[in-house]
Each structure stands twice: as structure tokens, then as C-alpha cells.
Amino acid sequence: MAALAALAIFSGDISRGASKDVTLFSSAELTSTSLIVVQRESLAYTTRYTQWLGGDIDRREVQIARALLAQRLNVITSSKLTIGNQLSQQYFENLALSDDLLASTQPGILSKKQSEAIKPESKEFIDAMLLETRELVAAYQNALQDVLEDSAADRQFKADRLIFVLYLFFALSLMLFGSFIYTLGRQFRRNSSANSQQLLLIGEAIDQLAESRKIVNQLELLDERKNTFISTVNHELRTPLTSIVGYIDILKEKLEGADNEELNKIIHILERNSDNLLNLVEDILSLTNLESTSSGLLKTDVNLKEITENALLSLTPLSEAAHVSVELKTQAGIETEILANRNQFTEVLTNLVGNAIKFSKPGGAVRILIEEGSSNQFSKMLRISISDDGVGIPASEIDDVFSSFFRASNVRNSEIIGTGLGLAIVSRIIEEHHGSINVESTLNVGTKFIVEVPVFDPEIDEFIQERKSGVLNRAIVALETSTLSELENITHEMRGVLGFYDLQEQGAAIAEFETWLKSSDRAQDSEILIRKNNLLSVLRENLTELHELKEK
């Protein structure tokens, strides 16, 4: 049995490895297809432009080539492929320059006079586009090489592990061979019908395995449907809830100082319940976003100590109200930079420390320790543990602690409110960060959460920074060139792209503008333009800052 188990692990490993390789190469193939398509359309456009400049074709044909290039870029983005980050800021500036040059001329065949007038700038555009298309090929080669290198490293790791498994398998086989012969002889003597029964059982097991695969497929489909459904429902719930909370605030403001105890009490209940509901919707939305495969926020260097201190600062009112002390200690002489998404990791700390405070008794203490974590030849981890001396979690429920809507039975009927989604969110975020989370708890003694996350690697950071400015520039160009009627769709698309590249502040600014647009049906065009220009100023400033940061 042990030998069979080892063999199963071995074959499963190979199968998983092969499947991963297929995914890797498929990803590289898609990227290369995108690059080739963009390169082709860019060249087609540049060629048409050159023909038009020479008086061979009319302006309309160049405009069509330009439109088809835009269409391909848009389809690639819509298909969630990442051509945008392969194209430099200069590429989009060149397109904008060519748009301006085209717009400055008359329809039809270009006159010699006009051709001469725009020739210097046109030459600049043509040269730059040819250079860009060459660089696209280099980008494709780099992308492919990255995939191959990753795959090679992965294979090396698997090969090492495989040798270990084979040694183990061999040793186990030797040990078991003797006992197998002995057992076989005895078994054969005992009951030959038992063997046929076992064969029957094996057959059934194989059938069940096939059935399980079917069920897994169905579950995956259902999970996907569930995520989509929840996203839609949450969106419909969150918008009205946000405005309800807003109205309650206004009501509170109006009633301030008024001597109406009953009304104040009702407002207080309304406020508490709508806040709870909003928190629940926000939590479900966070969880759904994390569970969907496309959530992937890129991470950068974040100082764990610094964000822990910030989280503690924001939790001070809670700890003071609960009369719980919070202490943070850091192991001397260690680097506390981790590879993380700042906002998501702040949410992790706020959740874990917030829980520790909530479930502590008055006069209790929460202890946080940052120290070196486990490490191997591939990664080095930093560990943060959060301990409390609170109510603890019953041992029988500890395995469910990271499940959605989990509330320990000893707090379910208490006054401590919660959605039961916090730890599920925390666990998913940690998973997204390629880290781990463990919990140790003793009822009525306390709980300790231990989180490990990879430390920051400057090479990965460089990779992200290289692409950020290009993406932000694309957002600016898109906003600049959009008509008022196109704005809503563009801001929606841009928000997602910026989020993906960890440009969260910029994404938030665009989201705010988008929300305002949606809620301002009767807004004057001039008002929209003013707000759009304000947004553009902010984004341009951010872009300059990014460039300066890169130069430094």
C-alpha cells in the first residue's frame, strides 16, 4: 500500500507538473500572439502612414489602419491579455502624435505642401514606430525566456524532489517486499475469494475516482457561477447601502442637540445595522474578488513593521475602549521588508489584531512579534505572530476557523459582532501572497495566529516599476482622447487595469470620478470637463513622480 501511495504521489506530481507546464507555455503563446498581432498592426499602420505621406493613398485609408490597430489593442485588453505592459509610454505618445498630424491635414490625398510641413514630425513618428515594433519582438523573446527559465527552475526543483521520492519508494519497496510475500502466502491460503472481492473494490474505487473528477468539474463551474452572481448582487446592494449610510449621517447631523431620545435611539439602531450590513457586503465582495482567478494584485516592497504600526494606530480607539494593551516587538537586526500588496496586507493585520482585541477580556494583552521565518533555497520568509489571552477557540472548531461565515460557538451569541468572513479573507490574502497562516488556540486561555510571508526581492520590484508608468500613461492617453459619452466605460476599464498594476491610489481617483459620473446624469458638459481635467492633472503628477522615482 505504501509503495502504491508513493507511486501515486510520484505520478500525480508528474501530471501536475505537466499541466503547469502546459499552462506556462500556453500563457507564453498567448502573449506572443498578442505581441505579433500588435506588431503586425503597428507596422501596417506605419506603412499606410508612409504611403499617405508620399501622396499614394488618401487619408481615410490611414485612418482605417489606425482604427484597426486600436481595435486589436482593445480586444487584447478585453481578453485580459497583457499587451499593455509590453508597450512603452513612447508607443502611445507616438500614436497620439500621429493622430494630431492626421487631424491637422485635409481629407483625401495629401498635398505636397502639407506633406513637407509635417514631414519632420512624421519622420520622427515613423522611426519611433519601427523601433517600437522591433522592441516588441525583443519583449516577446524576453517573455518566452522568462517562462523557460521559470519552467527550468521548477523542473530542477521537481527533479530533486523526484529523486528523494524514488529513494523513499525504493527503500519502502524493499521493506515491504518481505512482508508482502509473507502476507500473500497467508492470504492465498486463507481465502481466495477475498482477492476477487478486493479486485471488485479496486474497480469500484476507479469508478468512484472518475465520478469524483466529474463532480470536481461541476463544482468548479458552480463556483465560477457563484462568484459572478455574488459580484453582481453585491454591486446592487452596496450602492444603495452606501447612500443609506450617507442619509443616516445627514439625519444625525440635523438632529444633533435635539432632545428626542426615542428618535436618537432609532437612528443609532439604524446606523449600527446599516454599518453591519455594509461591512458584510464589503467582506463578501472582498472575499469574492480574492476567490476569482483574476484578482491578482501585484505586490511590492512593504515594511511589515511600519504597516503593523499603522494598523495599531487605527485600532487604538478599539483597544482603549476594550481596555486591552497591545505590544509590538521586532527581532533585532532583521529586515522587515516583505513582498506584499500594502492595502491587502493592512487588511490582514487589522483583521487579526482587531480580532485579538475584540476577543480579549478587559485588562488583557495582545502581543505581536515580528521575527525571521522559515527559509529554503528558493525563498526567505518573515513571520508575524499575534497572540491574545482571550476566550480562545474550541478545539473541535479549530479546523473551520478560516471558512467563510465561521463564528466560534463560544462567541456566536455574545455581543461581539462580526460577519465571520474576516479570517476567510485573511487566509485568501495570505494565499495570494504565497504565504502561510496557522492558528494555535486553547479555550479560555488564548489564541495565536502565525503568519509567514516572503521577504521583498528587489528584482521583482524592478519588474513592476518598469511597467507601472507605461500603464498609467495609457490611462492618461485614454482619458485625454475620450469623448464625454465614452468616459464612463473608459474609467471603468482603466480602474481595473490600474488596480492590477498596484496603482491603487490612481485607481481610487478614477473610481471616484466614475461614481460621480454615474450619479450625475444632469451634470453639465463643462462640469464633467472640469472634473476630467482635474483627474488628468492628478494622474500626470503621479506619472511624473513615478518617472522621478524610477530615475532615482
Partner 1 sequence: MVTTLGYTSASSAQASILSATRLMADTSNPYGGTNIDPLPATATIFTVTNGKKSINYSKNDLLKIKSSVITIFEPFVQKRQSFTVIPLDYFLGKSSIPSSVRIDTVALNDYIFSEKSANFSKAKAYIAIARFGKDIPYNQGGPLRLVYAGTSSWSKNLSAWNWSLRSIKVSKTA
Q: Which is nearer to partner 1, 96 or 411 (CB)?
A: 96
- 96 or 460: CB nearest partner 1: 96
Q: DSSP letters of 289-330? A: HHHSTT-----EEEEHHHHHHHHHHHHHHHHHHHT-EEEEEE
532-to-19, 170, 508, 515 alpha-carbon distances in Å: 46, 69, 14, 13
303 vs 482, beta carbon nearer partner 1: 482
Question: Please, which residue, 38 or 368, has the CB nearer to partner 1?
Answer: 38
Which cell is 116 given? 513637407
Chain centroid to CA 463: how far? 16
In the complex, the smallest distance separating the C-beta of residue 150 from partner 1, rounded to whole angstroms, is 21
Pairing relationship of beta strands 337-340 and 325-330 according to DSSP bridges: unpaired
By beta-carbon proximity to partner 1, the closer residue of 71 and 156 is 71
CB of 477 to partner 1, least distance (A): 8
Task: List the alpha helices (DSSP H) in 79-111.
Answer: 89-103
Closer residue to partner 1, CB minimum distance, 305 or 532: 532
Q: How far is the CB of 117 from partner 1 (least distance, A)?
A: 19
d(CA 258, CA 341): 45
Closer by beta carbon to partner 1, 29 or else 207: 29
Residue (129 or 429) nearer to partner 1, CB: 129
For the bound state, the minimum distance from the C-beta of residue 131 to partner 1, rounded and expressed in Å, comes to 19
Cα–Cα dist 16/147, whole Å:
17
Q: What minimum distance in Å lies between the beta carbon of 258 and partner 1?
A: 42
Q: 391: closest CA among 359, 362, 438, 366?
A: 359
User: Least distance to partner 1 from the beta carbon of 478, Å?
Assistant: 3
| Footprint on this chain of partner 1 (rule: CB under 8 A) | 29-30, 33, 37, 41, 44, 58-60, 63-71, 73-75, 77-79, 81, 95-96, 99, 102-103, 107-108, 221, 224-225, 228-229, 232, 474, 477-478, 481-483, 485-486, 489-490, 493-494
Distance in angstroms (rounded) separating the CA atoms of residues 484 and 83: 26
Alpha-carbon distance 172 to 7, whole Å? Answer: 11
3-state secondary structure of 436: strand
Least separation in angstroms between CB 172 and partner 1? 42
Q: Which CB atom, from 75 or from 530, has the smaller least distance to partner 1?
A: 75
C-alpha grid cell, residue 155: 523542473
Q: Smallest distance, Å, CB 186 to partner 1?
A: 54
- Enumerate long-range contacts of 267-271, CB under 8 Å, 24 or more apart: 271/245
Q: Cell digits for 118?
A: 509635417
Supply the minimum distance, in Å, between the C-beta of residue 147 and partner 1: 17
Give me the least distance between CB of 100 and partner 1, in Å please.
11
Side chain identity at residue 320, one-letter code: E
Q: What are phi and psi of 109, to 5 degrees?
A: -75, 140
Rg (CA), the chain: 30
Shortest distance, position 72 Cβ to partner 1, whole Å: 8
Q: CB 58: neighbour CB atoms within 10 A?
A: 14
Least separation in angstroms between CB 479 and partner 1: 8
Backbone φ, ψ for residue 372 (5° rounding): -65, 135
Q: Which is nearer to partner 1, 50 or 300 (CB)?
A: 50
The three grid cell numbers given for residue 124, joined into one nine-digit string:
520622427
Residue 97 or 165 with smaller CB distance to partner 1:
97
Q: Which is nearer to partner 1, 71 or 534 (CB)?
A: 71
State the distance between the two ends of the chain, measured CA to CA, in whole angstroms. 61
**Are 405 and 462 spatial neighbours (Cβ–Cβ below 8 Å)?**
no
Strand stretches in 158-294, DSSP E: none
Of the candidates 281, 256, 302, 348, the one whose C-alpha atom is nearest the C-alpha of residue 502 is 302
